Structure 1
Amino acid sequence: MKITKRLASWAETGAKLWAAYWLLILGSFLILGSVLLKWVQYPISSNLSGLKLPLFHDTGVIPHVALLSFGALGIVVLIAGVVLLRFFASALSLAAAVLITLCVLTPAHIAFQQPMMLRHLTDELQAMPWHKIFTKDYLPQNYGSPEVVPNRLILYTASGRLLAAFSFLRLGWTCFALGSLLVAVYAMRRLPDGKMATGLALVFLPVGALAIVLTPPIIGQHYFSSGSIAKARGHNQEAIVDYRKAMKWDAWHAQDINLYATIGDLQKQSGIENNSPERHISRALELQKANEYEPAIFEFSRAAEAGGVLAVAVRRESAKTRIALGLALYQAGGIGGAVTSWQLALADDPTQEVYVLPYLARGYFGLARYEAALQTVNRLVKIIADHSSMVADVYSLGGDCYAKLGRDADARHYYNLSYAADWIVNYWALTRLAGE
């Protein structure tokens, strides 16, 4: 009887607490849980949780937990708001406003504060079809589950890039947003009548922060549009000036290799700056489109001598050109030349690992450089760890390498890892495990 009464008392107390604080409890649970979930989905490389989405720097090829991340800051703000609530009636309202601000700033952060992150996302999206073609043509088929990724992205406008960044956000960010709203509702309901105006004023904090972040890209968009209009009217030098202003205001434009090429075309039409880096970029892209990869790479190297942000964009495009050259050589049977080209692509731009390593691993295998292939496989698995079908293919390739080396136990282990990563009609791993 005593136990029954005690349980009933606890249940009654719990029910009262839930009735009084359910918004805060549920909101806090969603916020705390969200930091471990997927916030940003990369098409090829590792996804980002709330704790791995940094506030002030790029994530790098392999993301790590960051103390100054959106998730970590959200936890600190929530705890501070709850603790200070007993001292300041508006503490939790302020915390909720900051949480909502973090939420609305996440896509803006990806699109405008760290535009290289959005460029990596879109580059991986564009690289996926090439990887699928290569896999279909040169690797045993794995009919694993496909991943859902965004398409039809509009990147030439600020609003389009904001929506593009939003399209890569996933469940973790959604939970954080919902939890922040629940905490905000609870905080507003607890405010005394005299403090309601303060609570309403805090609602404008997210709007103001978003406006501050959006202002530079909007100005950049204005100059970009003005440059496009001037170009259409034949006012080439005016267009060049406007395009350069767009680059100054919006880092996305400063990383746009096609915009540099457009400036080069305008310089050519105006008969000025015959040896400018933009002219070299323009010629390089023309050669690239004509599949004349080596002359294009030479032109890119000339442009990269200018240094600065332009050189970063040029080296990235040069690396992509070397990847394309390697694929062309591989398809023609020149595996050695393909491997060399892919190695040079990594030398041009180490951030291209996620695109190069799948090809490079297969190239090493084709040259019977099995140890080098295994090193590449182990590196690649760390980069694409969140994508089961691709991980399965990489493990299967590692198993083939071990089989060629006569290390059957290791080969079987890698085939098992492949099947564990993706068991949906994993033909490659299944046939190897069956001894075919």
Structure 2
Amino acid sequence: MTDAHDREQARPAPDEGARRAVAAVWRIESAKIVATLTRMVGDFGLAEDLAQEALLDALRQWPIDGVPRNGAAWLTAVARRKAVDGWRRRERLDERMAVLAHDLERERHATTDALPWDPDAVDDDVLRLIFISCHPVLSREAQVALTLRVVGGLSSEEIARAFLVPTATVQQRIVRAKKTLAAAHVPFEIPPREQHAERLGGVLGVLYLIFNEGHAASSGSDWMRPELSAEAIRLTRVLVALMPRERDPLSLLALMELTAARFAARVDANGDPVLLADQDRRRWDRGRIVRGRDALARADSRGTGRGAYGLQAAIAECHAVAASVQETDWDRIVVLYEALGRIAPSPVVELNRAAAVAMAVGPASALQIVDALAASGALAGYHLLPATRAELLLRLGRRDEARGEFAVAAALAGNERERALLAAKAAES
């Protein structure tokens, strides 16, 4: 559902079955509806507004007239009529109809000697919509909000709950994003091939951020928000289906599936964190593991080598296939982190490599890496740096130092569950 739902709150509640039908159709088909309308009216913001108005009509009419056989077609048709009515009121009907007629005529009389398809073109409105939602003229926060709203079909309230910000903040981000896209005259098209790597990287980065916020919530009282990760997986599957020849969407999907396979075992009955060493691996989702490994194999079959998402997926695969922490191929994980550090260097990757080195070689070698990171200041304020250092110190028998590091990590943690876990470790050290 969308913000149309907000405005509908003041009206008498419609039949609950019809409301659920409206919500289901919108969640599944909203991206296609808005994309189709954007192609028709040539204005992303107007298309989204038209879809919202059609949604309001559905909330009013479906409880009375019944749920139509094809709800998406109904919403699209209503929105199209509203567009025509708007043009008529602005005396632009003839102009717009002439443009539409010209486009149809051009398609009908396309030359027969042309290629049956353009190998550089991706003729899918939803893919165009995804690229618009993640356009580089928008801030990352706006990209995330717009992607979840327009492509994912989430309401402003759902997005606000997921990221623990006020609903008004999300609404403002979406409004500003649409105005920015309009002011920048962003076309409804896939970027040219020479921009694919950069622009696709931005899209994947947004989906990765959404997934990670679900995997390990940065703040709030819940350690995980699996519904947010599930939405990221769904959107990544859409992207894979739309760009089946691309390696990185498949790699990201593999990473998400293999990571999400552990979700059920990452919290206990009270919602408290369960760390990897303590997880009941019988609770891991074997279906997700199979799907993740298949996606990684398909990405590898592209023959272009593994990128950053592929290497991370390979690390997740090492965990997924291991019977226990002790039987995990830690040497391979260290090598994979080294490769990741070369193609996508970051202090967080180096910190993760240190954790793997601790398992493969020992805590003393890992502590040298962590101390170098601490001295560099690159991860100042990042709670997992002192948390990792505390674990290493504890393994080396330096309990007093470990206690202090756990306390520092607890003070820096933004998530309440993680803060409590670290505070408990400090008390136990």
Higher share in helix: 1
Q: Give TM class, smaller chain.
A: 0.3 to 0.5
Q: TM-score, normalised by structure 1?
A: 0.33
Q: Which one scores higher on RCO, CA 8 angstroms, separation ≥ 6?
A: 1
User: What is the TM-score with the length of structure 2 in the denominator?
Assistant: 0.34
Structure whose CA Rg is larger: 1
